[in-house]
Amino acid sequence: MKKVLVLGATGFLGRHVVSQLQQEDVLVVAASRHPSKQQESKVQNIALDCSDESALRSVMTDVDCVINCVAGDAQTLVAATQALVNVINPLSSIRVVHISSMAVYGAVTGLISEDTPLATDAGWYAQAKSETEKMWIDHRAKGGQVVILRPGCIYGIDSEQWVTRIARLLSAGRIGDLGVLGDGFTNLVHVSDVVQAIIASMNKPDSFSDTFNLAAQPATRWNEYFISLAVAIGATPVRRVSKRQLMLDAKLLSVGLKVLELILRKLKIKTSKLPEIMPPSLLRLWQQDIRLDASKAEKVLDIKWVTFDDGIKNCADWLISHHKLIKTA
């Protein structure tokens, strides 16, 4: 039986990966700083600092595949990848499936294939993801088996970033129909499709290495997503939000909220009741005319995308049934 090590196993994506792997003929080692306490017959939950090279080496015995779902700040992303690169011999049979991001393309526009150069002038997240990719590209050049997945915005059940946060902003009337400010492409990809791509990459024949964009087709725009999700969760009528209101929200309200959040955390006071923070970077993303070309993943990994309508229904049903709309501005 194949042994699969999942790093970052208790994060949003990691949880979905571990859950689906239980349906496969594999033994799963689910590693994270704070492991799950659930007992599953095919899952071994372990505590692991993924940036600790010695600790990582100790759990690599008989591992056939490593799925790197580690999330966090720049230091965490880079350190965890560096440790894993140092542990794995490029000439071994261990395959790595590394979860990167469309952020590596930076602020470019147009239809973007996997051959597009990595960005060097984007924010900290893009820089960290680009740095980790370069490590794996070098590992691959030495003979290592590495599949790099570059998903767009991963949404679905339990997505705080692209479902719960968006739903709260819609319910509070802070976003809606944004006009030209929401005409960028979403590059949304359902979490189940990302898991599908991970498992397909894991199961490819020996010596398989490649890089894939992941974004559901056909492409949709942010305004379409906002309006459809708002209607599905009953956050209607959908407001037409002006540029002035958005700018004031991002540059004044959200900046003030961020300062308050930092103060409260230092005082060890819960911040869960604070309104959502909507940074300027989010507004830039909603306008960016970037569209991932995911045709390669469709052909090589045989991906069948969750449709937009099914994705909206899936998210709305979960939001409503789990009462996720209680935090409003």
* 263 vs 38, residue with greater confidence: 263
| Residue 207 confidence (pLDDT) | 87
Query: For residue range 296-313, what is the model confidence (pLDDT) as tens digits?
Result: 999 999 999 999 999 999
* 260 vs 17, residue with greater confidence: 17
| Residue 324 confidence (pLDDT) | 59
Angstrom CA distances, 69 to 127, 148, 239, stand at 17, 11, 36
pLDDT of 249 strictly over 90: no
| 124 Cβ neighbours under 8 A, 6+ residues apart | 73, 74
Report the topology of domain 2-156+187-218+289-306.
Answer: Rossmann fold (3.40.50)
pLDDT of 327 strictly over 70: no
Contact 277, 252 (CB under 8 A): no
Average pLDDT, integer, range 26-42 = 87
User: How far, rounded to the nearest angstrom, does the alpha carbon of residue 206 sit from its chain's CA centroid?
Assistant: 27
This prediction's pTM: 0.92
Average pLDDT over the chain reads 92
| Residue 276 confidence (pLDDT) | 82
pLDDT of 247 strictly over 90: no
| Residue 325 confidence (pLDDT) | 55
Say which range, 67-71, 262-266, 281-285, 312-316, has the weakest mean pLDDT. 262-266
* 267 vs 114, residue with greater confidence: 114
pLDDT of 98 strictly over 50: yes
Query: For residue range 184-220, what is the model confidence (pLDDT) as tens digits?
Result: 999 999 999 999 999 999 999 988 999 999 999 999 9
pLDDT of 36 strictly over 80: yes
